[in-house]
A and B are shown apart, each in its own frame.
Chain A
């Protein structure tokens, strides 16, 4: 893609999300979402093949439907309150419609069916933008309306998401589908805490974005898309194998890595609000996620898959890929647990 056109498109994507996050007029929220959607379609179709076009079409259809349902919710809110301001007192009917629409945009169950298929059809870097940047806008609207969301609706969706994210990823070998199911499960965790302490949702989002960014960059470093090709990493860059090991454990939420911080804080906030069975259920189902991350590390770092002799030479070559900011990202995705007391600045 020519650089000039790429800059225009990325500017539109970024400004669309920023419009959604910062505006106080409900119509502008819808405008921001549409800008974001229309501009990201060419990014999804960077590789011009039928699979990418199918993925972009599916993404467009689901997101456009969700935008329309969001618009319906906005109009109902206008009807009942008489004004367009984004505020905390939302009509319950409008709140339900908006929650459903935003769940469709995020890929929460039962609206999660598009996430694996879209993520699989596009290139790694587009998948990265899809799973990290695109989550910011819907979650910011959910943050703003969090006090009026119907609890049973949101909690049902979040518990189902964590379960589906766990069980769905078990049979996958394609790395992009694995990351898609990981995204569904993490979205479930984020929306679970939305009603009690939305600040923890932002913490989870931040750490999730850092970890997913790092994971995608390590996968792009090796140009791998399947578990089988990832298993040859020990030939190319042995250091990356240990990093993938630590990163997968962090994604799975094992202490003492930073992926444990959001889970710990979310469980703490939920138990403070007298919910005991739900965090136990969420935590146990997250172990399914850990299982398929460990399967990745088994094939990558903990065993040495057979390879032919010409593959064994590859570590001698220098890497020419530009991996900007990778070392700080790795440190942030794995070693930030001791900084947990700093969370008091978020209040």
Chain B
């Protein structure tokens, strides 16, 4: 694992010492090289994990997330070049440093064995994200957004610290490699119910669960493009990954405690999708669609069947790539019109036809068109929840319809129809933007040829 961690840490000095016109090129190229190295971790043995040391390991659940994280850094760097072009050199380097630091902490989080180390790094990812959102966001609301983001996550995760230390005292160790074999069923007493709540609430806030999702639209909308990309693609998946790891310790209380959270997720899925239909702000629409997709992942993790775990993992990877791509597309609009209102830049298909092709493909991926892995994930989750309870099919079906509705609404509003007269003189699409979209879309399409990489440890 050090062969990924040390190069990522060394990206920082390399970028600080580069010539001013080479900082973007150097950091993007070398981070692409690091993501190439991380691909070797996808070669997982079927039923076990690749253990690098006592501190780091990767199994079929964390390897796709690791590859997604390392893949995303060059994409974030490519996307940020335009809005940082007017800053002074030291601030550009500081921004890139924040991105690289976040990447480093995320790599270590996804590969940590010891659960306390996972906790420390999970909290540590908050600091660079907070700095990116609050320092480099564009509107005044970013201050509030940063505070909501920090405090929602911290209030959820402090009980997790106490719970983890309590589990360490009773089990003797918190090393994941050991406790997956040592975990004993826990009885359903009141104190174990509180233990369950303490363990899960941190990840519920991070996912986010419907009642606790207030930080997400604020943070996604106010963050600059790299912040939005990393938030949507990776930081939300930290919650899903954590939940899947920690539920091993919490049997069989989960089957009883899951009911309120299942209800909140199932209802929240439909609520947030419906809100998307009434949004005027493009980034806000994509943010609420993230909440909706993550609610599916929560449902899947709480049901705890083999199909649902496969679906949850596939959905996390698929949603990461799709959501990040949608944010990049929204950003390409924002850079031209300097407004996030959807109807201000409409009818773009006649002016930027290639970008319209990317919009079409991204919207189709978002509404889970076959044969993308979005469909694989959603289908597995819908079928698993149908077997858990027959009535959920109504809510899931309604959600799929409304997802299709708002994805097409977004596509039609921005691309189709007659363009407005004030956008006739926008810049044409840059090669950098087209590359960005291709690099998001290619993994998504290629994974539909071999989805078993992203189907997780149960496959």
Minimum Cβ distance to chain A for residue B249 (Å):
16
A256 interface neighbour in B120, B131, B135, B150, Cβ under 8 Å = B120
Q: Which one of A15-23, A55-63, A275-283 is at the B interface?
A: A275-283
B162 interface neighbour in A245, A255, A271, Cβ under 8 Å = A271
Q: For residue B165, which residues in chain A have a CB less than 8 angstroms away from its CB?
A: 267-268, 271-272
Q: Which residue of B lies closest to A249 (CB)?
A: B127
Known contacts A271-B166, A294-B150, A303-B143: A284-B124 contact under CB 8 Å: no
Q: Which residue of B lies closest to A284 (CB)?
A: B158
> What is the interface residue range for chain A against chain B?
20 to 34
Whole-angstrom distance between the alpha carbons of A291 and B158 in the complex? Answer: 15
- Kindly name the residue among A260, A272, A283, A337 whose own CB sees the greatest number of chain B CB atoms within 10 A: A283
Minimum Cβ distance to chain A for residue B278 (Å):
32
Q: For residue B119, which residues in chain A have a CB less than 8 angstroms away from its CB?
A: 255
A interface footprint on B146-187 (CB within 8 Å = 1, 0 otherwise) = 110011001100110110011001000000000000000000
B155 interface neighbour in A245, A267, A284, A294, Cβ under 8 Å = A284
A254, CB-defined interface residue at 8 Å: yes
B121, CB-defined interface residue at 8 Å: yes
Minimum Cβ distance to chain A for residue B360 (Å):
38
Whole-angstrom distance between the alpha carbons of A279 and B146 in the complex? Answer: 26
B161 interface neighbour in A256, A264, A291, Cβ under 8 Å = A264
Q: For residue A276, which residues in chain B have a CB less than 8 angstroms away from its CB?
A: 162, 166, 191
Residues facing A in B69-123 (CB within 8 A) are: 105, 119-121, 123
Q: For residue A329, which residues in chain B have a CB less than 8 angstroms away from its CB?
A: none
Q: For residue B343, which residues in chain A have a CB less than 8 angstroms away from its CB?
A: none
Q: For residue B155, which residues in chain A have a CB less than 8 angstroms away from its CB?
A: 284, 287
A149, CB-defined interface residue at 8 Å: no
Whole-angstrom distance between the alpha carbons of A297 and B270 in the complex? Answer: 38
B134, CB-defined interface residue at 8 Å: yes
Whole-angstrom distance between the alpha carbons of A267 and B169 in the complex? Answer: 12
Whole-angstrom distance between the alpha carbons of A46 and B179 in the complex? Answer: 60
Minimum Cβ distance to chain A for residue B315 (Å):
29
Whole-angstrom distance between the alpha carbons of A254 and B191 in the complex? Answer: 27
B39, CB-defined interface residue at 8 Å: no
Whole-angstrom distance between the alpha carbons of A269 and B146 in the complex? Answer: 32
Whole-angstrom distance between the alpha carbons of A303 and B144 in the complex? Answer: 13
Whole-angstrom distance between the alpha carbons of A271 and B155 in the complex? Answer: 19
Verify A302–B134 contact, CB threshold 8 A: yes
Verify A290–B124 contact, CB threshold 8 A: no
Q: For residue B364, which residues in chain A have a CB less than 8 angstroms away from its CB?
A: none
Verify A272–B150 contact, CB threshold 8 A: no
Whole-angstrom distance between the alpha carbons of A314 and B82 in the complex? Answer: 31
Verify A279–B162 contact, CB threshold 8 A: yes
Q: Which residue of A lies closest to B134 (CB)?
A: A302
Minimum Cβ distance to chain B for residue A245 (Å):
8
B126, CB-defined interface residue at 8 Å: yes
Q: For residue A271, which residues in chain B have a CB less than 8 angstroms away from its CB?
A: 162, 165-166, 169
Whole-angstrom distance between the alpha carbons of A318 and B105 in the complex? Answer: 36
Q: For residue B151, which residues in chain A have a CB less than 8 angstroms away from its CB?
A: 287, 290-291
A133, CB-defined interface residue at 8 Å: no
Q: Which residue of B lies closest to A286 (CB)?
A: B158
Minimum Cβ distance to chain A for residue B376 (Å):
36
Q: Which residue of A lies closest to B94 (CB)?
A: A242
Q: Which residue of B lies closest to A291 (CB)?
A: B151
Whole-angstrom distance between the alpha carbons of A68 and B446 in the complex? Answer: 79
Q: Which residue of B lies closest to A246 (CB)?
A: B127
Chosen A-B contacts, 7 in total, with CB atoms closer than 8 Å, are A254-B126, A256-B123, A267-B162, A271-B165, A280-B198, A287-B158, A302-B134
Q: A294-B147, A294-B150 are in contact. List 12 more A-B contacts (CB 8 A).
A: A245-B131, A255-B124, A256-B123, A271-B166, A280-B158, A280-B159, A280-B198, A284-B158, A287-B154, A287-B155, A301-B135, A337-B120
- Residues of B with Cβ closer than 8 Å to A? 105, 119-121, 123-124, 126-127, 131, 134-135, 143, 146-147, 150-151, 154-155, 158-159, 161-162, 165-166, 169, 191, 198
Closest 9 CB pairs of A and B: A283-B158, A256-B124, A255-B120, A255-B123, A302-B134, A271-B165, A302-B135, A268-B165, A271-B166
